[in-house]
Amino acid sequence: MVGSKGLWIRGKPTKVSQEWLNKWRHTLDTRTFLIEGDEGETVDLKDDGIPDVAWSRKDILKWLKDNGVKTGAGYLTKTAALALVESHLNPPVVEEVLSEAEDTTETGSDE
């Protein structure tokens, strides 16, 4: 069955690999076939190795872990994971403001 779509018996579940499903997905009519456990196919839209909307949630979470980004203990949606990617790659700029007590500007003479 690896080299072809194969023969199917109605009502009999058949296990296939994710690679097989990715190859034959376009030929499987969702009105006829029930596909369970599909992880989806990750495509890198910009081909740059940085997660984008075409990446699967699972692959985005792996990228975050591999890059040392803390994701927290709760469930993280794909949208929230992409927001973490964005904030990791483009951290917010923190402007430092000096208070009057910290002002080191000299204003008078050195008498």
Per the domain annotation, does 100 fall within a domain?
Answer: no
67: left (phi over 0), alpha (psi -120 to 50) or beta: alpha
- Dump pLDDT digits (tens) for 52-68: 888 888 889 999 999 99
Number of domains in the chain: 1
Instruction: Assess whether pLDDT exceeds 60 at residue 98.
Output: yes
Per the domain annotation, does 107 fall within a domain?
Answer: no
Instruction: Find the domain containing 39 and state its range.
Output: 18-89
- Dump pLDDT digits (tens) for 15-25: 888 888 888 87
Per the domain annotation, does 12 fall within a domain?
Answer: no
Q: Which residues contact 76 (CB under 8 A, 6 or more apart)?
A: 61, 84
Per the domain annotation, does 8 fall within a domain?
Answer: no
